[in-house]
A and B are shown apart, each in its own frame.
Chain A
Amino acid sequence: MAKPKVAFYWCASCGGCEESIIDLAENILKVIEAVEFVIFPVAMDFKMKDVEALHDREIAVSFINGGIRTEEQEHMAKLLRKKSGIVVAYGACAHLGGTPGLANFFNRDMIFDYVYRKAPSVENPHNITPKPRTAVKQGDLTLPKFYDTVFTLDQVIDVDYYLPGCAPPPDLIMKAIEAILSGNLPPKGSVLAPDKSLCHTCKRKPTKPEKAIIKEIRRVHEVLLDPDRCFLDQGIICMGPATRDGCGERCINANMPCRGCFGSTSRVEDQGAKFLSALASVIDANDENEIRKITASIVDPAGVFYFYSLPASMLRRRRNIANE
């Protein structure tokens, strides 16, 4: 029997998700033995036309990482959807928008203005910025259009499963691949990770505050972090209460608070709002001035609470600036 065809593709991402497949170590050999790759930009030389040449649904499964922020990414996502039986949103950026999704606090003009004009390392005397079309004497040069807003993969195409994480951990990747190859699949729309919060399995949970005790919010570089005590108990923002379990507490074990890359559990629609609520309930102040003071000590609440999930949030983007 022919091996099932598999696509691996990147959109607005850092490349770490594609690397995570390589990080499967010797398990990668099992994967290579079982499947035939049809596109895999980080590792193999296939082109868009190779995908176009396939029949509809000929690819058994496409793992797509990255959010969607250009015309080309939208096109590739739609092409892969058409050619695939199953599409998996692979990693935090495809699932929730990820850190590139923080660009939704800006728009294209603001981003281009900084990146191509204002950034300290840029010299651009002719004021050149990317344009979808540029006429030169040999003809027209084109670039994909850059959107004002980053989208999650499921805001652009129909998605069957979600593999969360920045990047997804090897055990969950292997489990997902095995489930797909054996046809032993959970209901469509499932996030392929446990449906409980990170605090549930965190070894620091015994010291997690149950009542209002925080008088001040501090940042990780301002304190010597206790390696055993719950971060919240140390006045450090940890997204654990609003984040799905399954990563193996990678950050916590490295003595860093959770930033929420697994997204929320199924019972929560907006990860940032859920965390805000959890944080407000452990702040120890009833006096309005004191509350203002503690609130002021949180430098960038939206940026931290939606570190990975801004495009998937209810508000999706900053509203008082131009966006198409």
Chain B
Amino acid sequence: MANMAQAIRMALHYCEDHYALQDVFGEDVGAPLGGVFTATQGLKTAWNSPLDERGIVGMAIGIGLAGDRCVAEIQFVDYIFNTIDLLKIAGNTHWVSNGNYSLPIVLMTPVGAGIRGSIYHSHSFDAWATRLPGWKVVMPSNPLDAYGLMLAAVKDPNPVLFLKSKALMRVRGDELIPGEPEDEKTLKKMIDAPIGDRTGWNPQWPDVEEYVVPIGKAKVTRPGRCLSIITYGRNVLMCNQAADELHHEGFNVEVIDLRSLMPYDWETIRESVHRTGRVLFVNEDTEVTNFGEHLAYRVTQELFYDLLSRPRVLAGKNLPGIGLHPNLEEATVPQVRHIKEAALEIINEVP
């Protein structure tokens, strides 16, 4: 079973061969390293850019304007902030040009906490990302979705931000990518670069097939009746675990992996909350002006009379950063125990 880094790599390989992807670039993205999380190892179109995030985003916009397909990487999302105005330009290019230009670019970047990354390797970007109109934003929680969303992103004629949870990079899923060898070790031998000297090394790509996860479609990862938990990225795994534990305690909780933040799958959220009457939004970005707040607002507007308790948002604390010590990190961003606490509070609330 591929991990997420391998899945992204195979997706990009597929896009090189089938979707005319011409450039995969960013800091240390090319040989010999293939990205600090190895997500671009062995790709024939991968190259190392100068250490210049504005240059990376500008280059991507220019390539998109010329009509070529590229996937650019910001090495850690913590370093994307000095490109915000360029991201705004990418988002407004089609709109402000009255439809004259489209911008088919993909920008991928590792996000979030969970790898003991301290202040500058733990940032989230989902709330920021949803404030960049004109961009589509996706955030997979498992390797298969990462593969399918990457194919969708490269195919899409609009700019797509592909947020990849750092903490999930080495996590394996439980579903094979179509064409992926069943044995993990075989896959590793085929596509992981050897330690040490890599000159002359070439990957042997498995014959992976087209598998597209449509942008804007959520997935129910745990069906349930008494509470809807809406989440994405690495929090999906935590929410699944919380739901499983609550299941043993007799509570039947639904978990929805949003997968796409823009556009988001309102129909799936609406149907679920309509049924359960209770909802919890979980993500890691800071809690003030958080994307979950937007969704909670919409729930109160459109499902107010279906609700049996107040909608809640469980998100990162509104702090300037995430401290390195586990005590600090775990008190800052949602953990399984926080999710369970919040879930029980909502379930036990008497209307």
Q: Are the chains A and B members of one assembly?
A: no
Residues of B within 8 A of A (CB): none
